[in-house]
Amino acid sequence: MGNQPLIVLSEESQRTSGKDAQSMNITAGTAVAEAVRTTLGPKGMDKMLVDSTGSVVVTNDGVTILDEMDIEHPAANMVVEVAQTQEDEVGDGTTTAVVIAGELLSKAEDLLDQDIHATILAQGYRQAAEEAKNIVEGIAIEVEEDDTEALESVARTAMTGKGAENAKDHLSELVVRAIQSVADEEGIDTDNVQVETVVGSSIDESDLVEGVIVDKERVHDNMPKFKEDADIALVDTAIEVPETELDTEVNVSDPEQLQQFLDQEEKQLREMVDAIVDAGADVVFCQKGIDDMAQHYLAEEGILAVRRAKKSDMKALARSTGARVISNIEDTTADDLGFAGSVSEKELAGDEKIFVEDVDEARAVTLILRGGTEHVVDEVERAIQDSLGVVAATLEDGKVVPGGGAPETELSLQLRDFADSVGGREQLAVESFADAIDVIPRTLAENAGLDPIDSLVELRSEHDSDNTSFGLDANTGEVADMEGEAVEPLRVKTQAIESATEAAVMLLRIDDVIAAGDLKGGSGDDDDEPAGGPGGMGGGMGGMGGMGGMGGAM
């Protein structure tokens, strides 16, 4: 064998291995955490994000910031995924999860520098995370299903520091009512709470419609605008005469034949409408089109009909009114119909919409959010989505933990004790994990303009005396019992720990990065990225680090 190197990779591909790979990934991961750190907690700051077309989003929501940021570095994206998982699983705690992941990585770097092997580190982190879940469960507080007050407190906590702040009492009441309405034997699907935003009045005037709002008008002006005690038909096929399948031409030689042909069509339409009328329907929602002639017949019968309703609306209507979706119009029976006390066409935000209300058991509801400007309502909507998520999680699991860094303080104390029982080199990893978790109370204090060291010392001393629900009240700046102040579902914490640990461990175990394109040169897969957009890690990440740096020193 000669000493000619064997080249197996193409010329453009780039390879980074060993310590370099690890430290590159750690830098990218921690930069993501830095980017959202200053938004954490009720006193966190907002960010203004401007995309390449100039459209602006002002937000405090971790996952929204990261989604808008157009991050390209693969390792950074693995940390962004932590936020996305958190959003999917609980709907809140996205910043927390990312900040923990970043801190786990940065603490790991110290250990790697001390020549602790990544495998040992990974093992220690995993052990610590397992134990952490037991510890938070140990301090969890039970919440009964009908404890509306506790649920509202959970809803309020998720809204603190967001655009919804001013009206959070009113909004949290609506959120809890909404979730309680859509809960059923199979659990809670927050998709059954539709959110409609309206620009142009105050947040206090937001309201909950215990029913469905369909963003459509009546199909014909001669139809009634209002139906009381309405029997409702949901049809998912067109109320039209099916077009002939074959592309044939019909040759008619005399006018009588043509008339016959048209009569035949009319007769078919008449039969369809009759089937609906005979079943007793007062209102028809059709997912497809309705022929002009059929519209006319329906109007004559005093029926309120809507065409081209969205599939999601049809589903919500079926849930709320108890209607069965009809695919075969001829076979419609009274049993297929649903019921609502009131169906009406009303104006909302400048458009006519159909309100289906007064249903027996509203299993799909609509939250109407109002606010002064579009940016305000958008941010309120994000806060509401978080809030819906946490109330649902609380109802499902029946457990909450106090906020303000209380669980994290308890965790880091108990994990340090646990570390002693682990022994070996893993012990160091468990200790680092415990240190890393402290980032949450520390950041809450920093963002509230308090001295993080003082706050941490005070928190630890309370927890040493078994005051497990003591946290940092960001509004008063005091360390106090948070149980009545801020509470979050247990799942927010367990999920954040789990996904943050997994992402950190996964990144740490990588010692070789082989990229098909040029990593630092920017996009390998993006096609039309404008020249000014974030490049790869070199440009993009550096910029973000700067953003995070605004929040003050660690």
- Residues lying near ligand ADP in the complex (CB under 6 A): 39-42, 44, 62, 92-96, 157, 160-161, 403-404, 440, 444, 472-475, 485-486, 488
Among the listed residues 95, 366, 394, 494, the single catalytic one is: 95
Rounded distance between C-alpha atoms, residue 539 and residue 293, angstroms: 62
C-beta of 218: minimal distance to ligand ADP in Å?
A: 42
Rounded distance between C-alpha atoms, residue 534 and residue 411, angstroms: 37
The residue (of 282 and 473) whose beta carbon lies closer to ligand ADP is: 473
Using CA atoms, how far residue 249 sits from 242, 245, 246, 252, 261, in Å, is 15, 11, 9, 9, 13
Using an 8 Å Cβ cutoff, are 522 and 529 in contact? yes
Among the listed residues 27, 59, 94, 468, the single catalytic one is: 94
357: how many CB neighbours lie within 10 A of its CB?
18
- Is 197 annotated in the active site? no
Candidates 27-35, 47-55, 89-97, 468-476; binding stretch for Mg ion (CB under 5 A): 89-97
3-state secondary structure of 511: coil
The residue (of 95 and 320) whose beta carbon lies closer to ligand ADP is: 95
The residue (of 34 and 488) whose beta carbon lies closer to ligand ADP is: 488
Using an 8 Å Cβ cutoff, are 496 and 100 in contact? yes
Among the listed residues 61, 92, 336, 378, the single catalytic one is: 61
> Which of ligand ADP, Mg ion, none has residue 446 at its interface (CB below 5 to 8 Å by kind)?
none
Rounded distance between C-alpha atoms, residue 300 and residue 269, angstroms: 14
Rounded distance between C-alpha atoms, residue 181 and residue 188, angstroms: 9
**CA-wise closest residue to 490 among 146, 135, 182:** 135
Q: What angle do CA 219, 220, 225 make, to 5 degrees?
A: 90
Using an 8 Å Cβ cutoff, are 90 and 393 in contact? yes
C-beta of 161: minimal distance to ligand ADP in Å?
A: 6
Rounded distance between C-alpha atoms, residue 146 and residue 164, angstroms: 25
The residue (of 319 and 382) whose beta carbon lies closer to ligand ADP is: 382
> Which of Mg ion, ligand ADP, none has residue 239 at its interface (CB below 5 to 8 Å by kind)?
none
Token pair belonging to 385 = 């989505």
> Which of Mg ion, ligand ADP, none has residue 85 at its interface (CB below 5 to 8 Å by kind)?
none
Rounded distance between C-alpha atoms, residue 164 and residue 42, angstroms: 11
C-beta of 180: minimal distance to ligand ADP in Å?
A: 22
- The amino acid that residue 362 corresponds to is A
- Is 95 annotated in the active site? yes
> Which of Mg ion, ligand ADP, none has residue 62 at its interface (CB below 5 to 8 Å by kind)?
ligand ADP
The residue (of 338 and 403) whose beta carbon lies closer to ligand ADP is: 403
The residue (of 41 and 338) whose beta carbon lies closer to ligand ADP is: 41
- Is 468 annotated in the active site? no
3-state secondary structure of 403: coil
C-beta of 160: minimal distance to ligand ADP in Å?
A: 4
Rounded distance between C-alpha atoms, residue 159 and residue 166, angstroms: 10
Member of 67, 72, 87, 92 binding Mg ion (CB under 5 A) = 92
C-beta of 149: minimal distance to ligand ADP in Å?
A: 17
C-beta of 45: minimal distance to ligand ADP in Å?
A: 10
Candidates 90-98, 338-346, 406-414, 527-535; binding stretch for Mg ion (CB under 5 A): 90-98
- Is 51 annotated in the active site? no
The residue (of 86 and 295) whose beta carbon lies closer to ligand ADP is: 86
Rounded distance between C-alpha atoms, residue 428 and residue 120, angstroms: 9
C-beta of 102: minimal distance to ligand ADP in Å?
A: 13
CA dihedral 434, 435, 437, 439 (to 10 degrees): 170
> Which of ligand ADP, Mg ion, none has residue 59 at its interface (CB below 5 to 8 Å by kind)?
none
Active site residues: 61, 94-95, 386
What residues make contact with Mg ion under the rule CB under 5 A? 92
